[in-house]
Structure 1
């Protein structure tokens, strides 16, 4: 996981499950721009040009999480949880996601309603739901 506005809640949701040590490798909480650059390799110029809450940064976070771990799939989230920090272009509730699975990276923006806790909870649920959809089916037997 590579998380900004969710502050580790996605990693916590994963590790709440018994046996998660078999499949959860690591999580990055990169709340500051400097952390995104230092821990995930997101170019500072990318953040300066597009802002931390943007498609290019979400993509770079998802790809950086894989590049800086032994994981095979990642989910990244960066957004404006509120109550402050929003703008006309990126109002409170704007959250960009990135998923990197099987060498392919997908991104998506969502606009969630509610207070800070509601935005963060919706971001966790959406991020994990889409990650599960992107994963290949498990072999049975």
Structure 2
């Protein structure tokens, strides 16, 4: 059995397959998934699993160079924003880039995968750009 906290087979496989510059999105339950982009649907019911649990678990295995948020997230300030800001301050998320929510949807078309959580707070979405460990 794995020693790290990420147990989901599909999610672990995707993280292991990421190369430098590849993008992985972690999104709320309402974010659309473009045709052709792999969906790892973890949503069970409203709030389960929550966004921050999924994000921190993925960060235990993924080297992140930068991340992308929608401007609307900063304006709306869902509860997960404080957690994202703390992770950013700790150096876990690399540089931040802000774009519109519509632009984030466009960016998702080129993602390696999208991870849907049970989060039901609007604009609780992040694009993680893979870095390298060397």
TM-score by length of 1: 0.30
Higher RCO (CA 8 Å, separation ≥ 6 residues): 2
Structure having the higher helix fraction is 1
TM-score of the two chains, using structure 2 as the length reference: 0.31
Query: Greater Rg, structure 1 or structure 2?
Result: 1
